[in-house]
Amino acid sequence: MPARVFLSSGDLMADRRFEFARDLQLKGDLVAAADLLLQATELAPDFVSAWFTLGDIREQLGEQDAAIAAFRNAHAADRGDRHGASLRLMRLGAEQVSGMPPAYVQTLFDQYAPRFETALVDDLGYRGPAILFKGVLWVRAVARKPAFFKRAIDLGCGTGLAAAAFASNVDRFIGIDLSPRMIEKARLTGLYAELEVDDMLEGLRSKPETSAELILAADAMVYVADLLPVLAEARRVLVSGGVLAFTAETHDGEGVIVGPGLRYAHSADYVRASVEAAGLKLSRLEDRSARNEDNFPVPGLVVVAAKT
């Protein structure tokens, strides 16, 4: 029988203030909600959710310095950063853009798994696998090569939507995802010969050289800040003539930013340079949106590259 957890009177009072603050936040009374959250953090200084919510409210109120301070406290209280406080700091310009916390990604998708396909396809109009499939077909047709692959790797496979789009064109799929619950969902499809719970980069590093003809990453590179290590490992794993295809979110500036949805957006020039630096040949770079946010298409790219 699990041990019973006893909360101190201070923790109980902090919890109550947090719940009241969330109610006020939903009603639009942000100033009063912030005041209650401050009281909660005084009672429980390591109350991660209270600090994070306070940061969110301070940002909505236009109090950037106070928002940064709250997000810093949230991160300090949870070094694993399951709430993604470091991403909020990056987006506010308080930290350099760097890698996404693995604990945040795993927590996000473990929670998301039960409603993933409904939310993504029905609510967000997700079309990443379909536009990837069209991109690969176009590239192979131009190269006068068949779009059939013996061995493929699906990076950030989720529940298996990309594998479903390519199922009739691939003999054997390996799926890699950081979320155990996503892997459970993917296993139910019967589309994968192998499934692995792993980071995309580490998953690729475990694969032998020249062991795949196709590598896919549908809506997965948005969780990768620095594309080069993943692209370089993909090149190593691909056979000569093999294809790497992925979607990305993009922006009109330079380099990599953290967008409003706490996902990385890579400029087209950055993608071109990363593909070239990895030793791959860029076959197609097309402006195509893979999903909507607030009923508007999110600026995106479809990228198809080959190992020559």
Helix (H/G/I), strand (E/B), else coil: 53: helix
Are 253 and 267 a contacting pair, CB within 8 Å?
A: yes
Query: Mind listing the domains of the chain with CATH numbers?
Result: 9-96 (1.25.40.10), 113-306 (3.40.50.150)
Query: Quick one: tokens of 171?
Result: 């003999």
Residue 295 has a pLDDT of: 85
Residue 75 has a pLDDT of: 97
Dist CA 89 CA 91 (whole Å): 5
Please provide the size of the chain in residues.
308
Residue 8 has a pLDDT of: 55
Residue 124 has a pLDDT of: 79
Residue 189 has a pLDDT of: 96
Q: Which residues of 233-245 are buried (b: 16+ CB within 10 A; e: fewer)?
A: bbbbbbbeebbbb
Mean pLDDT by 10 residues, the chain (308 residues): 44 92 96 97 95 97 98 96 96 96 92 78 85 97 96 96 97 97 96 97 98 97 97 98 98 95 96 98 96 91 97
